[in-house]
């Protein structure tokens, strides 16, 4: 269902004063999602999300599926595509048509599992009254913490909400990436990553973050030929004024050097040429090469509550098939999403002439993305199969997948099923940990 932009804007302005009012429940959640159920009840009302008491953990710390007893309400396939086409993205339709015998979308009851910690709610409340776009939309000022625009007025603000969405303040993740061949066999690589917002550093004070949005590092652990290679990055808030700062450690050269531009449509290493730098995490980096239009809000079948996909009881071989991820362990639900269209500006260069993003109203994470070439033809499509991690108090991905509809290949990243301890949350960090000087000492251990 589409909601016209004019109506969205009117609703947003009308309810802004009562967003965080005491007494009667506000019409929006603390992060700006519609609190109520959809008219037909298929999308339930938000009741606060999952709590730790409702979810058990596997031995490796992964939350077990709290909805494991549920059965699909329906399975969308090429055979019944026309019935559901209006609630699917162009990428989903293309995959159903390309693999009519094997690709399916199992649809389950919808659950609004995203909880909002008190600190996150407070940040969103403060940002709602003071955050604003600056430098032609390439920077957010008056912003702290997470969720810059809980009441977005345009496509660029929705995009910034993805960039500033709630994530654990400081965490480590061990994960695997796979690049399957046409027969379903794959090459696997493994990485250890660290993430920290400035507010996780000792002594941080509001307004003291400068131009840093977050700190990030990764170190390859497999295969053997790249093990030890590492990168540390300072993700800048305004990347037009100051491109992200990144340094590489090469095991072959045994030295640290400034990394070349890892941005826009440069190709991400280890993805078989399928993933541009700015499509990692569905979208990252500077938004300046596109005009961003808020198309509206839609009710779509999107990957959601993908606990089964993250299960340590599932080996990667059970997830990967020829041409696409095996559909049986996936889970799709009907949810409200913001649709944002990015159109390449005149005079700007990028391999994608346009891109469409579908952003979850509860988590502000992009769940589906479609990428189009200069002729307006759908080229690639991506999916983030996420779930709410009750320990990290944030949504994380069971996997992120990108499909190339031209050559039939796909790449899967962020898998944690076979990791002994995939996540560590609220990790003590210091600024020196993310310094270039610390790269080599960590890599040669």
Q: Is the peptide bond before 223 cis (omega within 30 degrees of 0)?
A: yes
Domain 5-443 CATH assignment equals 1.20.1370.20: no
Residues in the chain: 445
| Positions of the chain with pLDDT under 70 | 1-25, 207-209, 443-445
Residues 288-297: pLDDT tens digits? 999 999 999 9
Radius of gyration of the chain (CA): 21
pLDDT at 444: 52
Q: For the chain, how far is it from start to end, CA to CA, in angstroms?
A: 54
C-alpha span between 29 and 18 (Å, rounded)? 11
Do 161 and 149 meet the contact criterion of CB atoms below 8 Å apart?
yes
Place of tokens 């190709």: 267
Identify whether the C-beta of residue 395 lies closer than 8 Å to the C-beta of residue 117: no
HEC string of the chain equals CCECHHHHHHHHHHHHHHCCCCCCCCCECCCCCECCCCCCCCCCCCCCCCCHHHCCECCCCCECCCCCCCCCCEEECHHHHHHHHHHCCHHHHHHHHHCCCCCCEEECCCCCCCCCCHHHHHHHHHHHHHCEEECCCCEEECCCCCCCCCCCCCHHHHHHHHHCCCCCCEEEEEEEEEEECCCCCEEEEEEEEEEECHHHCCCCCCCCCCCEEEEEEEEEEECCCCCCCEEEEEEECCCCCCCCEEEEEECCCCEEEECCCCCCCCECCCCCCCCEHHHCCCCCCCCCCEEEEEEEEEEEEEECCCCHHHCCCCCHHHCECCCCECCCCCCEEEEEEEEEEEEECCCCCCCCCEEEEEEECCCCCEEEEEEECCCCCEEEEEEEEEEEECCCCEEEEEEEEEEECCCCCEEEEEECCCCCCCEEECCCCCHHHHCHHHHHHHHCC
- Which pLDDT score, from 0 to 100, does residue 185 have? 86
CB atoms within 10 A of CB 341: 17
Q: Tokens in use for 59?
A: 């031995």
Q: What is the pLDDT of residues 406-445, one digit of tens each?
A: 999 999 999 999 999 999 999 999 989 999 988 877 765 4
């Amino acid at each position: 269902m589409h909601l016209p932009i004019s109506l969205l804007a009117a609703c947003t302005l009308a309810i802004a004063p009562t967003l965080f009012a005491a007494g009667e429940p506000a019409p929006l959640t603390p992060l700006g999602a519609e609190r109520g159920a959809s008219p037909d009840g298929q999308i339930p009302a938000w009741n606060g999300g999952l709590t730790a008491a409702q979810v058990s953990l596997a031995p490796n710390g992964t939350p077990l599926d709290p909805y494991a007893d549920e059965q699909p309400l329906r399975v969308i396939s090429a055979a019944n595509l026309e019935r559901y086409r209006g609630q699917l993205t162009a990428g989903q339709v293309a995959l159903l048509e390309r693999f009519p015998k094997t690709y399916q979308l199992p649809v389950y009851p919808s659950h609004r599992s995203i909880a909002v910690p008190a600190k996150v709610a407070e940040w969103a409340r403060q940002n709602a009254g003071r955050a604003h776009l600056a430098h032609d939309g390439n920077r957010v000022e008056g912003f702290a913490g997470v969720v810059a625009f809980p009441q977005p007025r345009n496509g660029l603000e929705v995009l910034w909400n993805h960039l500033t969405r709630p994530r654990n303040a400081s965490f480590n993740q061990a994960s695997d990436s796979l690049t399957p061949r046409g027969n379903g066999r794959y090459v696997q690589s493994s990485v250890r990553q660290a993430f920290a917002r400035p507010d996780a550093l000792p002594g941080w004070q509001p307004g003291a973050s400068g131009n840093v949005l977050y700190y990030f590092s990764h170190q390859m652990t497999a295969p053997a030929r790249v093990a030890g290679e590492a990168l540390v990055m300072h993700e800048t808030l305004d990347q037009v004024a100051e491109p992200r700062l990144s340094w590489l450690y090469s095991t072959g050269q045994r030295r640290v050097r400034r990394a070349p531009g890892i941005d826009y449509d440069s190709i991400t290493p280890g993805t078989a040429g399928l993933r541009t730098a700015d499509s990692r995490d569905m979208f990252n980096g500077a938004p300046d090469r596109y005009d961003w239009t808020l198309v509206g809000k839609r009710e779509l079948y999107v990957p959601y509550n993908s606990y089964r996909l993250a299960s340590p009881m599932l080996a990667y071989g059970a997830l990967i098939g020829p041409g696409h991820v095996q559909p049986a362990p996936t889970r799709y639900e009907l949810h409200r999403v913001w649709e944002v269209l990015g159109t390449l500006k005149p005079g700007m260069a990028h391999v994608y002439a346009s891109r469409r993003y579908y952003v979850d109203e509860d988590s502000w994470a992009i769940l589906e993305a479609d990428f189009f070439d200069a002729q307006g033809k759908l080229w690639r499509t991506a999916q983030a199969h996420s779930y709410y991690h009750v320990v990290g108090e944030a949504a994380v991905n069971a996997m992120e997948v990108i499909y190339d509809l031209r050559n039939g290949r796909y790449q899967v990243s962020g898998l944690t099923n076979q990791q002994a301890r995939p996540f560590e949350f609220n990790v003590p960090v210091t600024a020196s940990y993310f310094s270039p000087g610390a790269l080599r000492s960590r890599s040669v251990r």
